[in-house]
A and B are shown apart, each in its own frame.
Chain A
Amino acid sequence: MTAHSIPENETIALLRNSAAGFARFDSRRIRDWRGRSPGFDRVVWQQMAGQGWLSILVPEADGGLGLGIEAAAAVAEQLGRACYPEPFVMAGLLVPGLLAASTNQALKRALLPAALSGDAIFSLAWQPADGSLKPATSAMRASRRNGSIVLSGECRFIVPAQADHYLVLAHTADGPLLVCVDADRIRPGLIEESGPDGFSSAWLRLSDLVAPEAAILMSGVGVTDTVEAALDQAIIVQSAEICGLMQRALELTLDYMRTRQQFGVAIGSFQALQHRAVDLFIQNELARHAKAAAVRAVEHGAQGKALSLVASSAKSRAAHAGLLISTQAIQLHGAIGFTDEYDLGLYVNRMIRLAASLGNAAEHRRRFGDLSEGA
């Protein structure tokens, strides 16, 4: 495809190129990790840390790169193109950002370096079990008792399912808090739920789990806003990852249309199929530009509602376009496109996960509408 590229500065271009060089599509590796805990390669995760990718959003003062969301999106897009199973957005971006925002300096000093080096994997448990997108409605309750906090309730759709530490968003009578709990304390309440891509999320049910107050990363009314802002940024970067996936799925399809012969000609010469391919291309372009516009808005300081609006804008298009391209890619390939052996399925199954995770197209359209109305 010869669509015009979106201009970017030198740092971003360098990062994009090195990410493209590093993250190669490896069909066998992806297949090897399907259905096998933790669903991705911790050696690769540490290499990604070595590239500095887990430090992108963390301020330099905290040992990060302080590069901003455009850099994160550039990396995520390349990981999408390579169909990487590693949970870059959830564990490599969302969590380090929240750890860096922690008001508990001692805990931050203890945890952040391990997160940035890739030595420890962190997972955020924030989403209510009913799948609501509002962290404010998390069904995990916390109460303070004798210098400890006691957690009861549930969170779901936790990615990755298997981590070394879990950041749990919980609500007390005095407002929300974010607390870090080690894996061995969490594991008894954890159920893994495997997904279409062979990767798992977790359903966490806690009943009177006691954690020390020293494990609280932050508390007070601002916590929900902090988590929501971190989630909105993650949604934008996830949209970039989806863009990478859909672009590659479309390229695979166009390649197939150019080479597959039926009736003595390449099927890509049929006008009916050409026009469908163009409609997919248009969706791909819209997703790219909606994502780029959201990235620009964040780089220009969008916060609060403005941030949520651009995040929902980007994700609603990415999820819609991504699934449309996926399903049409199957149809345009014919039966081969539906086989496990052909690599398209890896992209489609990963697409289903990312489109559904952190809000799908319909949910984000609705959220965009509610935010536009000021509801």
Chain B
Amino acid sequence: MSFRYGVPQERDWNALDDVEFRRIIRVEFETNYPTELRYAPRRLRWHETKDWYLRMARKGWIAPNWPLEYGGMGLSASKLLIFQEEAERWGIGRYQDHGTLMLGPVLLRWGTEEQRRRYLPDVLSCKSIWCQGYSEPGAGSDLAGLKTRAVRDGNDFVITGQKIWTTLAHDATHMFALTRTDPDAKKQEGISFLLVDLAQKGVTVRPIRDMAGHEEFCEVFLDEVRTPASNLVGELNKGWTVAKSLLGFERIHVGSPKMPEYGLTVLEAVARARGMWDDPLFREKYYALKLDVAHLADAYNHFTAIVIRGEQLGQDVSYLKIWATETFQRIADLVLETAGPFAAINGTVQVGNTSVDVLASFYKARTPTIYGGSNEIQRNILAQQVLDLPRR
């Protein structure tokens, strides 16, 4: 066993063949992940996922995407996909993992060695939990219109403004935020990427209750909050470039067929329980959706193969997100229709001889078409950058 960055690594994962690697991951997940947390109907809170992720941290599995020398598992692209596939297959709930998913890659690409040494070990031990401060009340799809100001004051930046839709900010200790540092520059050119400690005066985190009754995202008010200038990532006013560099991988991840595949199993369970499985009209709809998911998987495999070959993803990967999230939505909508009166009952409900949470997939399917760049924005990108249609 070797220790890197204070993290033990059991072995050289990439030296294993894919089948053996998948087996090891699967055994760990199936043996040790709490059954009651599988396929949670909502984002879990830190107090619920803490035990599991501290176990992952102790095993050195908390950052499968990071290189070995920084305490990650150092997985190759293909091994990383297997790791994620297995997590999704087993329905493992995410914690607020922006620290490993986003901050790590950002600091490795744009950060200084001092920033890495300062922040990454705490991400690995889960001592710090990071949230993403991007959206604002006035800057959603038009993210570059953000107004949160960061003004230089001696060795600090002083930040004032409001972030919103900040996922699990109430679990977070830190935020990486896009802030306006040059109000006179063109929209994208006056933005800087700052690291902010949330445990200080001037920070107010207020959870927002969603229509499913859950509290997964928050408003974060920043009132003259201070952060040292050494927490600037990348160059001053180049934060847009830093943030944009992360998007490709996110879009392939959100394009995975696992969610809709899971939706199909729920749909089948509801249809069988209600005696509609053999109904020809239902079957028409079901198999049309099943083929929509099958062809999503065909396309997804094409893109993952590009990643595995070590090639750059093109802008066309955006369509995966559109097709995956809208297919999931169509499935969730059919779950609701197939459930009939059971759709009006909250939580896990007895339908025939099956227990199923009818509304969970319906609510779960609403947000993916909005976050990470709404599907309308994705269509704009595809139209202009892939189909070469003219801008207005």
Contact = CB atoms under 8 A, between A and B. Distances in A.
Interface in A258-303: 258, 265-266, 268-271, 274-275, 277-279, 281-282, 285-287, 289-290, 292-293
Interface string A200-240: 00000000000000000000000000000000000000000
Interface stretch (A32-40, A82-90, A158-166, A366-374): A366-374
A184 B390 CA distance: 58
B295 A313 contact: yes
Interface string B193-213: 000000000000000000000
A368 to B, nearest CB: 6
B33 interface: no
B34 interface: no
Contacts of B291: 313, 316-317, 365, 368
A110 interface: no
A1 interface: yes
Interface centre among B298, B314, B316 (most CB of A within 10 A): B298
Contact of A265 (B288, B306, B387, B392): B392
Contacts of B382: 278, 281
Interface string B276-315: 0000000110111011001110110111011000000011
A250 to B, nearest CB: 9
B245 interface: no
B383 A278 contact: yes
Contacts of B391: 269
Interface stretch (A2-10, A17-25, A139-147, A186-194): A2-10
Contact of B389 (A7, A274, A286, A366): A274
Contacts of B284: 362, 365-366
A249 interface: no
Nearest to B297: A293
B314 A4 contact: yes
A318 to B, nearest CB: 10
B217 interface: no
Contact of B379 (A2, A4, A278, A317): A278
B299 A289 contact: yes
Interface string B321-347: 011000000000000000000000000
B388 interface: yes
B389 A257 contact: yes
B376 to A, nearest CB: 7
Interface string B251-288: 00000000000000000000000000000000110111
Contacts of B315: 2
A366 B306 CA distance: 33
B355 interface: no
Interface string B106-131: 00000000000000000000000000
B283 A369 contact: yes
B367 interface: no
Interface centre among A274, A292, A366 (most CB of B within 10 A): A274
B306 A254 contact: no
Nearest to A321: B295
B287 A2 contact: no
A313 B294 contact: yes
B387 A282 contact: no
A289 B287 contact: no
A29 to B, nearest CB: 30
Contacts of A289: 295, 298-299, 301-302
B316 A275 contact: no
A274 B286 contact: no
B392 A282 contact: no
A63 B150 CA distance: 76
B295 A286 contact: yes
A292 B315 CA distance: 21
Given A271-B380, A278-B319, A285-B319, A258 B298 contact: no
Contact of B287 (A4, A285, A372): A372
Contacts of B283: 366, 369
A6 B294 CA distance: 18
B384 interface: yes
B287 A366 contact: yes
B386 interface: yes
Contact of B286 (A6, A290, A362, A369): A369
Contacts of A285: 299, 316, 319
A368 B293 CA distance: 13
Nearest to B381: A278
A7 B306 CA distance: 9
8 contacts: A2-B314, A258-B389, A265-B390, A277-B389, A281-B386, A289-B299, A289-B302, A290-B295
Interface of A: 1-4, 6-7, 254, 257-258, 265-266, 268-271, 274-275, 277-279, 281-282, 285-287, 289-290, 292-293, 313, 316-317, 362, 365-366, 368-369, 372
Interface of B: 283-284, 286-288, 290-291, 294-296, 298-299, 301-303, 305-306, 314-316, 319, 322-323, 376, 379-380, 382-384, 386-392
Given A4-B303, A290-B298, A293-B301, 9 more contacts: A2-B388, A3-B316, A277-B387, A286-B323, A289-B295, A289-B301, A292-B302, A313-B294, A368-B290
